[in-house]
Structure 1
Amino acid sequence: MTVDDAPPVFAPRTPPESLASQVFQLLRSAIHTGALDPGTIYSIAQVAEQLEVSRSPVREALLRMAETGIVRIVRNRGFVVVRPHPREIAEIFAVRLALEVAAVERVSRVANPELGARLRLAISESHGAATRGDEEEFFRHDFLMHDGILAAAGNDRARRIVAELRETIRILGPYTAGQTRSLADIEREHEPIVAAIEAGQTLPAQEAMRAHLTHTALLLIQQACAVHGAGESGIGEGDVAAARAIWADVLGWGIGLIS
C-alpha cells in the first residue's frame, strides 16, 4: 500500500493547546488500535489534513516516536510504523527483567500491605475488565500494577524507561491475550507477585516477577517470529524454538529451567 491509497485513519479534530503532544497521543492511539498499519507509508501532509493542524506539530510528534523506534521517517515520503523484530522484543524484556525484578526486590524487603492494597485495586479492576473482555482497560490496569511497583521502588528513570519500552511492545497489537493465554491467565500471574510483596517475601516476589515477564517475553517473541516468518498460519514449532534460542542468546544463559 502506498501514500495515495492509504485509507483515512483519523476523524478530523483540532487539538487544544499542545498540538504536538495531542498529535502524539492521537498517533499512538491509532497505532494501538491498528488504524495505522505497519508497513504502510503514511504522508505527513495527509495526517495533518485529517487532524486539521499544520505539518509542524505532526513532524514534532513523529520525531518523538522515531526516537523510541515506534516509527521510521521515510525521507520525502512520510513515515511508517515499525513492527518490532523478535530480537528487539527479547532485548526489551531483558531490560524490563533487570529493572522490574530489582524493583520488586526493593519493595518486598519488608511486609508492605499498603502497597499490596494499591496493587490489588489494580488487579481487581483488571479482573472486571477481563470478565467484560475489555482488553484496553485490562492492560491499562496491568500497566498501573507494574508501574506501581516501580514507583514504590523510588526510581523515576526506571519508570520512564519501562513505560517507553511498553509503548514499543504495544505495536504488536493484541499482546499475548487471545493467542496462547487469556486475560484471566495474565491476571493469575500477577497474584503471586502481589502476595509476596504483602508478606515481605523477597525471593518469591523476584521469582514471580521473573516468571511473569519471561512467560510474556517468550510468547511475544514467538508471535514476532511468526509475523517475520511465514506469518499467516499462526505460531508453529519452529517459531517456539526460534523464540527460546533468541531469548537465551539475549540473556546470555540457558532457559532450560523455565517452562
Structure 2
Amino acid sequence: MGHLSQPNLITARERLRDQVAHALRAALISGELRPGQVYSAPGLAEDFGISATPVREAMLDLAREGLVEPVRNKGFRVTEINERDLDQYTEIRALIEVPTVRRVTREAARADLEALRPVAEEIVRAAREHDLIGYLEADRRFHLGLLGLAGNERLVETVGDLRKRSRLYGLTALDEAGELLPSAQEHLELLDLMLAGDADGAEACMARHLGHVRSLWARESDVGAADAPARA
C-alpha cells in the first residue's frame, strides 16, 4: 500500500508514533484504509516494517480523534460517517462559526487578521499542488486560528473535535474532481471581507463556505454509492 510502505516516512527526526499516525491519516485520506474495515496493529506494522507498539499507539491517537474505534481482540475499525453525521457536524459548525466570524470581524485587530493571510495562501497552494495532508493542516490552522481571535478556548476545542471527525471525508475524490481549489480560495475571500470590516459579507461567506463543503461531501457520497459493488 502506497502510504503504508514509504520508508522515508519513518525518520529519526520525528517521533515514530507521530510519524506513523501521520502516515495512517494519509492512508485514510487516500482510501487505502477503508471505512468499516478492521485493521490489526501487527498487520499494519508489517506494512511499515516496524514493531507493532508504535502502530498501536498511533491508532489509539486516531481513536481519540474519532477516526477509528478499537475492536476487542481484533484491532481498529475505521469509523464510518453517514449523511446524518455530516449534516449534524455541519449544523453545529455553522451555529458556532458563522456568528463568531461576525464578532471577530468587528472586534479583532487588523494585524491579527493579516497574520492569517499566509495560512490562507498555504491552503490555496496545497490545493493546487494536490497536497491533501498539507491542505488539511493549513485549513485546520486557519479556521481554529480565526475562531481563537474570539478568545474562547472551549469554542475552539469544540470545532476542532468536529473537524477531526469529518474533514477526511471524500477528500481524494474531491481533489481529483478539481473541487478543492474553489473551496480553498474562499478562505482568502473571507479574510478580505473581514479586513474590510464587512461583517455581513464575512458572515455570509462563512455560511456559504460551510454549505459548499457539505455539498461536496454529499456529491462524494453519491459517487461512492454509485461505485460500490452491488449486494445480493
TM-score with structure 1 length normalisation?
A: 0.70
Which among 214, 227, 232 is matched to residue 231 of structure 1?
Answer: 227
Map of 1:174 onto structure 2? 172
For 2:24 and 2:104, how far apart are their aligned partners in 1? 35
Whether the 8 Å contact between 1:113 and 1:199 is mirrored in structure 2 is: no
Which among 178, 203, 207 is matched to residue 200 of structure 2?
Answer: 203
Helix, strand or coil: the match of 1:72? Answer: strand
For 1:92 and 1:52, how far apart are their aligned partners in 2? 36
Whether the 8 Å contact between 1:105 and 1:203 is mirrored in structure 2 is: yes
The structural deviation recorded for 1:23 is 4.0
One-letter amino acid matched to 1:88? D
**Change beyond 3 A, Cα 1:123–1:66:** closer
Helix, strand or coil: the match of 2:218? Answer: helix
Which among 114, 117, 121 is matched to residue 117 of structure 1?
Answer: 114
Whether the 8 Å contact between 1:111 and 1:199 is mirrored in structure 2 is: no
1:80-115 CA distance string (max 9 Å, x none): 222311111111111221222232122111474213
Helix, strand or coil: the match of 1:148? Answer: helix
**Change beyond 3 A, Cα 1:131–1:116:** same
For 1:39 and 1:84, how far apart are their aligned partners in 2? 9
The structural deviation recorded for 1:74 is 2.9
Map of 1:9 onto structure 2? 4
Which among 189, 193, 200 is matched to residue 190 of structure 2?
Answer: 193
One-letter amino acid matched to 2:184? E
Whether the 8 Å contact between 1:48 and 1:58 is mirrored in structure 2 is: yes
Q: Name stretches of at least 5 consecutive residues in structure 2 with no aligned partner.
A: none
For 2:58 and 2:119, how far apart are their aligned partners in 1? 30
Q: Name stretches of at least 5 consecutive residues in structure 1 with no aligned partner.
A: 1-5, 234-259
One-letter amino acid matched to 1:78? G
Which among 142, 145, 149 is matched to residue 148 of structure 1?
Answer: 145
Larger Rg: 1
- The reply to whether residue 91 of structure 1 matches residue 88 of structure 2 is yes
Whether the 8 Å contact between 1:112 and 1:200 is mirrored in structure 2 is: no
For 1:164 and 1:100, how far apart are their aligned partners in 2? 14
**Change beyond 3 A, Cα 1:176–1:165:** farther
Map of 1:161 onto structure 2? 158
For 1:139 and 1:42, how far apart are their aligned partners in 2? 24
Give aligned pairs, total: 225
The structural deviation recorded for 1:39 is 4.1
The structural deviation recorded for 1:210 is 0.8
Identity of aligned residues (%): 31
One-letter amino acid matched to 2:110? P
Helix, strand or coil: the match of 1:37? Answer: coil
Mapping of 1:14-93 within 5 angstroms?
Answer: 20-49=17-46, 50=48, 52-55=50-53, 57-93=54-90
For 2:3 and 2:189, how far apart are their aligned partners in 1? 44
For 1:63 and 1:133, how far apart are their aligned partners in 2? 28
**Change beyond 3 A, Cα 1:23–1:141:** closer
- The reply to whether residue 218 of structure 1 matches residue 220 of structure 2 is no
One-letter amino acid matched to 1:9? L
The structural deviation recorded for 1:213 is 0.5
Whether the 8 Å contact between 1:38 and 1:80 is mirrored in structure 2 is: yes
Whether the 8 Å contact between 1:47 and 1:58 is mirrored in structure 2 is: yes
The CA RMSD measured in Å over matched residues stands at 3.3
